[in-house]
């Protein structure tokens, strides 16, 4: 069956692709399995050379990749360029990291014990549609660096950049069978990867709902899994914060990528003593977000990824919101920047909207801020705005989330671990920590007795 890929900003088809089924999935896993022994035997420094070459090819083809990503996801071209820049950085990072990721020697009686990091085998990489190339690279980089072979399954809506990355991997010199990409349905290709006896691990990014299925399916073969799932992060603004700076930054933290961001700070928690003032500043800043044609260099927010997703997002906004922005009068799955005053019990504050809708919620004091911030099943990221350094650290430590920013709202850096607490998943991507998720520790004892 063919798959029609749309541009969400025009609603027009941009590609027709053949979809893989169970048989093609089994063939890809077989190719990856066959390529594995030779690939794991390649010296780490030589694997690094190929990753470095891939990083350079991504840089050389950055504009083309950014345009593919922008047209397929509907994201503004300026943001797409930044994301492709990160893809190259990720490959450079793991090229540099892999031959520095060693084991240890441990003093024991009667000999020497040493630990080694061994690759896992064939790894299934299942990624979502919101940051397709970026999230694929977070998995490809450490998986390949550690000596695994991979089968990457991009999301149905956004497979194009993964296909181009595979071509670049071949051009870089990765041997046939090491990097495989399958376009197909999650319930068919994804499910088969999860259950396949020759797949050693599933690295999954996506919704908490599908994350549960991954965990269940993986139980049959005791597969390793890492899960990067949904979020409902808080942007906590204390009365002693630089309110202008916090308000200017807040729209970026929830409307970037049209809110289709697992790290979106979609709950804006504001201390009651400055609530009215901050809301005024936030409305002004939100009014300034430039929504429009993703190809326009100055656009800050594009459309949502699909008509169906727009319906889901719209279902969260009941009645007249506190603020609703404008959308272009042209085809495209547009949804306006929206601010809703809410309590933490409302649906808009409890469930992941995954669109440009922020719930603004008052709190009383530091203890209340921590309580409300943690009152969610998720625990991915969050921001704290205050001029009190000790408070910033106290609240950061007390927040049940994997990635916290103070007086900033970025979550992702190539060098630092990224991942969730609670139902936002487990395992860490990026930084040196990601290498642990793509290797097993082996302990070897060598007797020194004569």
153 binds ligand NAD (CB under 6 A): yes
- Binding span for ligand NAD by CB under 6 A among 3-11, 54-62, 90-98, 203-211: 203-211
Copy the structure tokens of residue 31: 């190719």
CB 439 within 8 A of CB 146: yes
**Least distance from ligand NAD to the Cβ atom of residue 252, Å:** 17
Report the side by side order of strands in the sheet with 338-341: 323-324, 338-341, 357-363, 267-271, 234-237, 381-385, 403-406
Residue 157 Cβ vs ligand NAD, minimum distance, rounded to whole Å: 7
Q: Which is catalytic among the residues 146, 262, 263, 337?
A: 262
> Which residues, numbered 353-412, are part of the site for ligand NAD (CB under 6 A)?
354, 380
Alpha-helical runs (H) found in 290-361: 307-314, 347-350
Of the two residues 230 and 437, which places its CB atom closer to ligand NAD in the complex?
230
Q: Which span sits near ligand NAD by CB under 6 A: 122-130, 235-243, 323-331, 360-368?
A: 122-130
- 24, 69, 83, 228: which one binds ligand NAD (CB under 6 A): 228
3-state DSSP call for residue 339? strand
Q: Look-up: residue for tokens 């809708």?
A: 357
* DSSP-derived secondary structure for 10-62: TTEEEEEEEPP-HHHHHHHHHHHHHHHHHHHHS-HHHHHHHHHHHHHHHHHTH
Question: Which residues, in sequence order, are bridge partners of residue 359?
Answer: 267, 340
Is 50 a binding residue for ligand NAD by CB under 6 A? The answer is no
Residue 226: strand pairing partners: 203
C-alpha 257/C-alpha 252 separation (Å) is 9
Q: What are the backbone dihedrals phi and psi of residue 253, each rounded to the nearest 5 degrees, phi first?
A: -75, -15
If one asks whether residue 132 binds ligand NAD (CB under 6 A), the answer comes out as: no
Select the residue interacting with ligand NAD from 44, 119, 128, 302 (CB under 6 A). Answer: 128
- Residue 210 has, within 13 A of its CA and on its CB side, a CA count of 20
Q: Which of 271, 172, 198 is nearest to 37 (CA)?
A: 198
Active site residue 228: yes
**At 361, is the secondary structure helix, strand, or coil?**
strand
Residues 341-360 that bind ligand NAD (CB under 6 A): 352, 354
Is residue 327 within 8 Å of 336, Cβ to Cβ?
yes
Alpha-carbon distance of 432 to 100, in angstroms, equals 10
Q: Which residues pair with 401 in a beta bridge?
A: none
For residue 344, the tally of other CB atoms under 10 A from its CB is: 19
Stretches 99-107, 115-123, 228-236, 331-339: which one binds ligand NAD (CB under 6 A)?
A: 228-236
Q: What is the nearest approach in angstroms of ligand NAD to the Cβ of residue 124?
A: 9
| Choice between 279 and 304, CB closer to ligand NAD | 304
Q: Which member of 115, 207, 312, 374 binds ligand NAD (CB under 6 A)?
A: 207
Sole binder of ligand NAD in the list 65, 210, 313, 349 (CB under 6 A) = 210
Q: Which residue of 119, 142, 190, 325 would you call a contact of ligand NAD, by CB under 6 A? A: 190
Of 40 and 185, nearer to ligand NAD (C-beta) is 185
Is 280 labeled as catalytic in the residue annotation? no
User: Contacting ligand NAD (CB under 6 A), which of 88, 123, 126, 340?
Assistant: 126
Query: CB 184 → ligand NAD: shortest distance, Å?
Result: 8
**Site for ligand NAD contains 205 (CB under 6 A):** yes
Q: Report if residue 334 touches ligand NAD, rule: CB under 6 A.
A: no
User: What's the DSSP call for residue 296?
Assistant: S
Residues labelled as active-site residues: 228, 262
Binding footprint of ligand NAD on the chain (CB under 6 A): 126-131, 135, 153, 155-156, 186-187, 190-191, 194, 205-207, 210, 213, 228-231, 262, 352, 354, 380, 420, 424-425
């Amino acid at each position: 069956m063919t798959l029609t890929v749309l541009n969400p900003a025009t609603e027009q088809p941009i590609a027709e692709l053949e979809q893989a089924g169970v048989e093609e999935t089994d063939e890809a896993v077989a190719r990856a399995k066959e390529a594995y022994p030779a690939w794991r035997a390649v010296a780490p420094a030589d694997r690094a050379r190929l990753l470095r070459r891939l990083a350079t090819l991504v840089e050389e083809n950055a504009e083309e990749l950014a345009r593919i990503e922008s047209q397929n996801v509907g994201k503004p071209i300026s943001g797409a360029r930044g994301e492709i820049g990160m893809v190259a950085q990720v490959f450079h990072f793991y090229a540099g990291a892999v031959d520095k990721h060693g084991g240890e020697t441990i003093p024991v009686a009667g000999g020497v014990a040493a630990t080694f990091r061994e690759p896992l085998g064939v790894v299934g990489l299942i990624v979502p549609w919101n940051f397709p190339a970026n999230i694929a690279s977070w998995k490809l980089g450490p998986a390949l660096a550690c000596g695994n072979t991979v089968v990457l399954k991009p999301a149905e809506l956004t497979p194009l950049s993964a296909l181009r990355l595979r071509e670049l991997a071949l051009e870089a010199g990765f041997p046939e069978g090491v990097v495989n990409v399958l376009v197909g349905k999650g319930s068919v290709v994804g499910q088969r990867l999860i259950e396949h006896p020759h797949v050693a691990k599933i690295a999954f990014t996506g919704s908490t709902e599908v994350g549960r299925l991954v965990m269940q399916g993986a139980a049959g073969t005791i597969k390793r899994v890492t899960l990067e799932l949904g979020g409902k992060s808080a942007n906590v603004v204390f009365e002693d914060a630089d309110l202008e700076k916090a308000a200017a930054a807040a729209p970026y933290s929830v409307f970037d990528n049209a809110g289709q961001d697992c790290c979106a700070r979609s709950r804006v928690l504001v201390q009651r003593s400055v609530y009215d003032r901050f809301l005024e500043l936030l409305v002004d800043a939100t009014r300034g977000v430039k929504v429009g044609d993703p190809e326009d260099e100055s656009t800050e927010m594009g459309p949502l990824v699909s008509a169906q997703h727009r319906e889901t997002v719209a279902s969260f906004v009941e009645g007249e919101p506190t603020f609703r922005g404008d959308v272009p009068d042209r085809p495209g799955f547009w949804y306006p920047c929206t601010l809703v005053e809410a309590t933490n019990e409302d649906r808009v504050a409890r469930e992941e909207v995954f669109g440009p809708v922020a719930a603004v919620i008052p709190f009383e004091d530091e203890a209340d801020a921590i309580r409300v911030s943690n009152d969610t099943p998720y625990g991915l990221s969050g921001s704290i705005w205050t001029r009190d350094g000790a408070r910033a650290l106290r609240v950061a430590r007390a927040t049940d989330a994997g990635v916290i920013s103070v007086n900033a709202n970025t979550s992702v850096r190539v060098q630092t671990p990224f991942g969730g607490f609670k139902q936002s998943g487990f395992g860490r991507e990026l930084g040196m920590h990601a290498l642990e998720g793509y290797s097993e520790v082996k302990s070897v004892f060598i007797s020194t007795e004569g």
